[in-house]
Amino acid sequence: MSDVSDWWRTAIIDMEPGRIDIRGRPIQELIGAVSFPQMIWLMLRGDLPTEGQARLLEHALVAAVDHGPQAPSIATARMAVTCGASLNQAMASAVNLLDDVHGGAGEQAVELYHMALESSVPEAVSRWQAERGKYVPGFGHRFHTPTDPRAPRLMALTREAARQGDASGAFVEIAEGIEAHLASKAGKPVPMNIDGATAVIYAELGFAPPLARGLFCLSRSVGILAHAWEQTEQGGRNKGPTPPEYRWTYEPEG
Amino acid sequence: MSDVSDWWRTAIIDMEPGRIDIRGRPIQELIGAVSFPQMIWLMLRGDLPTEGQARLLEHALVAAVDHGPQAPSIATARMAVTCGASLNQAMASAVNLLDDVHGGAGEQAVELYHMALESSVPEAVSRWQAERGKYVPGFGHRFHTPTDPRAPRLMALTREAARQGDASGAFVEIAEGIEAHLASKAGKPVPMNIDGATAVIYAELGFAPPLARGLFCLSRSVGILAHAWEQTEQGGRNKGPTPPEYRWTYEPEG
Amino acid sequence: MSDVSDWWRTAIIDMEPGRIDIRGRPIQELIGAVSFPQMIWLMLRGDLPTEGQARLLEHALVAAVDHGPQAPSIATARMAVTCGASLNQAMASAVNLLDDVHGGAGEQAVELYHMALESSVPEAVSRWQAERGKYVPGFGHRFHTPTDPRAPRLMALTREAARQGDASGAFVEIAEGIEAHLASKAGKPVPMNIDGATAVIYAELGFAPPLARGLFCLSRSVGILAHAWEQTEQGGRNKGPTPPEYRWTYEPEG
Amino acid sequence: MSDVSDWWRTAIIDMEPGRIDIRGRPIQELIGAVSFPQMIWLMLRGDLPTEGQARLLEHALVAAVDHGPQAPSIATARMAVTCGASLNQAMASAVNLLDDVHGGAGEQAVELYHMALESSVPEAVSRWQAERGKYVPGFGHRFHTPTDPRAPRLMALTREAARQGDASGAFVEIAEGIEAHLASKAGKPVPMNIDGATAVIYAELGFAPPLARGLFCLSRSVGILAHAWEQTEQGGRNKGPTPPEYRWTYEPEG
């Protein structure tokens, strides 16, 4: 039997009738004893965070829940329920859109920060733009200028965590260094955005870069669900992206 | 301009450059001040829960994160990453499977409990089976007999919340009444399962039934992400459901 | 070994190294010999259609490929690629939206036609509205009045197929009967739409109602892919539903 | 009004009440006049193919519909319906898995062929492995050795098309050159697989590489739908990847 069972091996969960162990701990001892962010950490990392680490993770999760219905993911979730989709289905179509451009900046920013840690801010930015393209992940916002209100708050909380020994603070320095470097190059503010700020926290906490994307998906799933539910209550059938009377512009190739 | 803006109206979020308000509260005042479960509640309901309500919600979210790779959602997530899918993409395909049968029992159980509240346990069960089918949502488990270890723990915590005024306790009574009623009818234990137990909490907290499904999706997304990530680290290409040498049984229609 | 193999039994495909049989026929004998619609039929039904049946299926598949970017599915696919999604990923999020309201009308219309066949047009319409709601599936269009140009063309082709013995024509009569009945009740045209017209063909060809939805998904996937690809070539990053300067209307609950 | 309409500009479709033009052609003139593969070409390319080009496209679409339930996409579709998913929803979760590894080999093979056309077979293979990794897309099969029965049949049909002027035949030469080159390097057959063979056709017909993936998705969607439907008829609830009694292997990290 072992080859079939071994095909699906995992260190996350063990079970037998009446027993569920998560990372080696009985589930009933975790329920009521750990917070949701602690459980997220335990599931992803295999151990439990300190209280301070869990709080810092929680701040990042709280900060990124929503950016409104013009985000393609949120618009998709709202349209989906008017097509007859269930809430899980609406969430699925929407989370799928949190891809490289819409949901990958946090992951990329963690990578960038590690590059800066190993070299310097100017070298990391310059290498990123040469190898990965002109967009420096985590910085710049087409809407929130000069400041995304989430970023300074998250930086302040990370500094506080560093003072209490729950973070090194190194990635705060790096991210603020990148922000200053980009502003100096551009001659105007290039504000740290939510991806840049949460990436600082995920880097401080030692998460692998792809998990910055994964954690963002957990956080933004809250906004996706809230909007899908609000649209359910508003009603509507086959809601399109614009009021129907606008239609679209037909522009034949010439 | 208003007809275009009005097409996407919401009470959840308001923004202008440099300002993001969630349910009327500046985001920077929420970050660091509310827990992730409080933020989830605020996004879905428009107000903030009491500390006790937030803790109860947190217990339910913690309890349902994972049930292992034989769950079709988890298996899908793990297979997805070996197909080249990003983490958000793996989460999407998997959350999509948390539909009526795999993720809808909590929603249905909340409905059932409300029916019992308005009539009685036997009447509600009997009406459910007549109208909705033989499966009584939230009860019975093909694996965890006689007891799903999560259920009694969640019931104890809900009772504690009721003693402290954060819940009524009425839905604990109903759910345990259903469990006893079904066991008596079947002549064997029909244990309250994770959906039945979390539905008690969601009903106690006043969530609309579809949100029981939505909250389950938030919780199980954690397990989906953890398994997708573990599989990423294990590697593999185009992982199928069984070891390849088993293939499948060809059974022509006769 | 058989219990593991039997878990995945199928009558669709059989394989061993160097051999692939589809519904009992070697794949290399099908390639080059059957049309794509014939292959679709073979996969779904287990046998091959007559030439006339295959043509009729082909007409339905051709007719429903696209209805423009205001359809929520198409909008989702176009937004998805600007979020970094691959083409398969964009198709996934979009096809997911072809649910009960956006993609289920064909399935429902086949059910309605069978009800009318077993009783009468007025009885079937009246029973549908009593049991399933006010929308009569397959009829009425918020845009194409008085006539959806696809419907009369498909009806003419189905009549032609009936003359040649490849269809009964019974469902053409029923659908046109429903169209006349609804117009008479409403005092204005209630035109047969694409779902109503393709449902006639799927009913004539003996497809089970859910396959009307499935076949629509195959057809509309073409439009979804075409729009996703066009958007890829247009470029854009995180394209939202409306031009960004419109934002949305914040409407707090009172 | 134009900025809102222009946000969704397209060359694919134009509409007004009672009129639908696809690529400048009235839909009712296309229905009944063009085949489904011709319509696919028209939607993706803007013009109509010759009869011979359409037939060649059709062969590729027919060839790739299915490879059985051990493919993660097919397994996902079958599990999905047992979770309560509708057919469109099952298709969505499954098509999502046709990503770089499971569905991207055709796209990559078209790229590889173009590299070989511009240099030589050995140079292209060597450059591919240096830049993109050891897997040469379109060649090698863990199951069909020494020959995937679809490949020689598709090559024969492409050669026939070349003789009739509907293809150049250049990519047949390249692909068979790669097959021979790889076999010589490996000292054993490295058979051209379905992705390698359909990529020859897509390259011959002038499709951009990403559309090889898109067309594969259209083709494999047929198999996905057929398996989802067969599973619907078989029934089952929350079907997991293996029979439940096998469970999985818990392997704690050491």
Measure Cα distances from A191 to A146, A184, A188, A195, B27 in Å.
6, 12, 9, 11, 17
Partner residue opposite A39 with nearest CB, options B22, B65, B145: B65
Whether the pLDDT of residue A111 is over 90: the answer is yes
Partner residue opposite D28 with nearest CB, options C17, C27, C150: C150
Task: Tell whether the torsion through CA atoms of B215, B217, B219 and B222 is positive or negative.
Answer: negative
Residues of A in contact with D2 (CB under 8 A): 249
**Torsion angle (degrees, nearest 10) of CA D99, A10, A39, B28:** -20
Long-range contacts of C157-163, Cβ-Cβ distance < 8 Å, separation of 24 or more: C157/C56, C157/C59, C157/D31, C157/D32, C158/C56, C158/C200, C158/C201, C158/C204, C161/C52, C161/C53, C161/C55, C161/C56, C161/C204, C162/C204
Contact predicate C77/C90, CB 8 Å? yes
CA distance B212 to B217: 9
CA distance C95 to C77: 9
**Sheet containing B25-26: order of strands:** B13-16, B19-22, B25-26
- The mean pLDDT of A95-105, rounded to a whole number, is 96
Q: How sure is the predictor about B254, in pLDDT bands with cuts at 50, 70 and 90?
A: low
Residues of B in contact with C248 (CB under 8 A): 5, 7-10
Say whether D230 and C12 touch across the interface (CB within 8 A): yes
Strands B13-16, B19-22: parallel, antiparallel or unpaired by DSSP? antiparallel
What are the helix and strand counts (H, E) for chain B? 13, 3
Tokens 């897509």 correspond to D202
DSSP assignment string, B116-155: HHHS-HHHHHHHHHHHH-S--TTB--SSS-S--THHHHHH
Contact predicate A235/A109, CB 8 Å? no
Residues of D in contact with B242 (CB under 8 A): 70, 241-242
DSSP assignment string, D182-224: HHHHHTS---B-HHHHHHHHHHHTT--HHHHHHHHHHHHHHHH
B–D interface: beta-carbon pairs under 8 A: 134
C85: closest CA among A7, A130, A102, B5? A102
Residue C70 makes CB contacts below 8 A (sequence gap 6+) with A240, A241, A242, A244, A247, A248, D8
CA distance A79 to C149: 26
A218: closest CA among A82, A39, A14? A39
Cβ burial of D183 (10 Å; 0-12, 13-18, 19+) is middle
CA distance C209 to D122: 53
> Where do runs of H (alpha helix) occur along B119-247?
121-132, 150-163, 170-186, 194-204, 209-234
For B151, the closest chain A residue by CA position comes to A28
The pLDDT tens digits of the residues spanning D116-156 come to: 999 999 999 999 999 999 999 999 988 888 889 999 999 99
C228: closest CA among D37, D95, D72? D95
Whether the pLDDT of residue B141 is over 90: the answer is no
CA distance C45 to D36: 19
Say whether B103 and D93 touch across the interface (CB within 8 A): no
**Per-residue model confidence (pLDDT) at position D123:** 98
Chain D closest-CA separation from residue C127 CA (Å): 24
Say whether B99 and A93 touch across the interface (CB within 8 A): no
Say whether B247 and C46 touch across the interface (CB within 8 A): no
Contact predicate A197/A175, CB 8 Å? yes
The 8-class DSSP code of residue B49 comes to P
Which residue, among A3, A8, A98, would best test binding to D if mutated, counting the most D CBs under 10 Å from its CB? A8
CA distance A158 to A198: 10
Cβ burial of B47 (10 Å; 0-12, 13-18, 19+) is exposed
C164: closest CA among C62, C58, C63, C53? C53
Q: At what angle do helices A36-45 and B209-234 cross, to 10 degrees?
A: 30
Say whether B72 and D89 touch across the interface (CB within 8 A): no
Measure Cα distances from C20 to A15, C14, D148 in Å.
39, 6, 9
Measure Cα distances from C52 to A157, A217, B123 in Å.
71, 49, 55
Contact predicate D210/C87, CB 8 Å? yes
Does domain A105-211 sit in CATH 1.10.230.10? yes
Which residue, among D86, D99, D245, would best test binding to B if mutated, counting the most B CBs under 10 Å from its CB? D99
C62: closest CA among D20, A249, A156, D40? D40
The amino acid present at D236, given as its one-letter code, is G
> Which parts of chain D register pLDDT below 50?
none
Measure Cα distances from B80 to A113, B75, D9, D99 in Å.
28, 8, 33, 8
C39: closest CA among D61, D199, D149? D61
Residue A145 makes CB contacts below 8 A (sequence gap 6+) with A189, A191, B17, B18
Tokens 């076999």 correspond to D183
For C85, the closest chain B residue by CA position comes to B89
Tokens 């063009």 correspond to D34
**Per-residue model confidence (pLDDT) at position D27:** 98
- The mean pLDDT of A52-73, rounded to a whole number, is 98
Contact predicate A110/A213, CB 8 Å? no
Predicted structure pTM score: 0.98
Q: What is the CA radius of gyration of chain D?
A: 21
**Per-residue model confidence (pLDDT) at position C142:** 80
CA distance B64 to A63: 23
Residues of C in contact with D105 (CB under 8 A): none
**Per-residue model confidence (pLDDT) at position A133:** 93
Chain B closest-CA separation from residue A57 CA (Å): 10
The pLDDT tens digits of the residues spanning B61-80 come to: 999 999 999 999 999 999 99
Chains that touch D (3 or more CB pairs under 8 A): A, B, C
Cis peptide before C146 (omega within 30 of 0): yes
CA distance A222 to B214: 9
Residues of A in contact with B92 (CB under 8 A): 92-96
Whether the pLDDT of residue B5 is over 80: the answer is yes
The pLDDT tens digits of the residues spanning A24-40 come to: 999 999 999 999 999 99
Is the complex ipTM higher than 0.95? Answer: yes
Contact predicate A200/A175, CB 8 Å? yes
Residue A29 makes CB contacts below 8 A (sequence gap 6+) with none
Residue A219 makes CB contacts below 8 A (sequence gap 6+) with A60, A61, A62, A63, A64, A65, A198
For B6, the closest chain C residue by CA position comes to C249
Chain A closest-CA separation from residue D31 CA (Å): 21
Q: What is the distance between the terminal CA atoms of chain A, rounded to a whole angstrom?
A: 64
For A80, the closest chain C residue by CA position comes to C97
Mean pLDDT by 10 residues, chain C (254 residues): 90 96 98 98 98 98 97 98 98 98 96 98 97 94 87 98 97 98 95 96 98 98 98 97 95 81
Q: What are phi and psi of D77, to 5 degrees?
A: -60, -40
Pull the structure tokens for residue B119. 């009539």
Say whether C39 and D103 touch across the interface (CB within 8 A): no
C–D interface: beta-carbon pairs under 8 A: 268
| The length of chain D, given as a count of residues | 254
Whether the pLDDT of residue A90 is over 90: the answer is yes
Cis peptide before D17 (omega within 30 of 0): no
Q: What are phi and psi of C209, to 5 degrees?
A: -50, -45
Contact predicate A110/A207, CB 8 Å? yes
Residue D254 makes CB contacts below 8 A (sequence gap 6+) with none
